[in-house]
Chain A
């Protein structure tokens, strides 16, 4: 797996203060479980994303610890409260130095 990969964030650009907004994130990653074997019986080493963090204007609002049981190209649907205008940063960290991050702006009225 390469050190970084594509990500997609689906969330509104605008929300009312106090509104609970739905966020969907998906990242391109094989999530090699470490339980698969080749025909010769060799185990394919684990190579997964281990952690996903969402910070809102620098404050952590959601985190996930991922294990090999998470499917390839992981999707997470979650919610956060629109507290103030600002940026949401989404970061993924994984095995073998993998890291991806993307930022989305949210305008809160």
Chain B
């Protein structure tokens, strides 16, 4: 299986590994370590088709001038590219609650990193099983 993967590697995009996902997160956060909490990431536990997966992320925040969410980043451990989407909010958002639809190439863990106005980072994650992968089909 591994040999086959090496042989086919030039043809097919390699998948992000946990390390690449961590590197992507580090690039966003610099030297600050994220804290677990405040962030709720909702993904269906079982995905019929990875091409369009509904995802919802909400951050527990009063969204006031003194205390609000500046950005939310979604990172996938198992996609060819770990960064999926970044949302930039602010006080005008009223609520740090975003929904979108993403592609998932594999059963994997997806991370949401919230960047707060006080410079702290908070993280949440969700795991999902994908029965039909996205991203790398041959058409």
| A residues lining the B interface (CB < 8 Å) | 20-21, 33, 35-39, 41, 44, 56, 59, 61-72, 74-81, 83
Contact = CB atoms under 8 A, between A and B. Distances in A.
Interface of B: 11-13, 51-53, 56, 74, 76, 79-81, 83-95, 97-103, 134-139
Given A69-B83, A75-B101, A78-B98, A64 B88 contact: yes
Nearest to B55: A71
A76 B94 contact: no
9 contacts: A33-B135, A35-B80, A38-B139, A64-B86, A64-B87, A70-B100, A71-B101, A77-B99, A78-B93
Contact of A81 (B84, B93, B139): B93
Contacts of B102: 69-71
A76 B100 CA distance: 5
A59 B93 CA distance: 12
Contacts of A21: 94
Given A36-B139, A71-B134, A78-B93, 4 more contacts: A63-B87, A76-B99, A77-B56, A81-B93
A41 B103 CA distance: 22
A81 B94 contact: yes
A72 B51 CA distance: 8
Contacts of A78: 87, 93, 97-99
Contacts of A59: 92
Nearest to A70: B85
Nearest to B10: A41
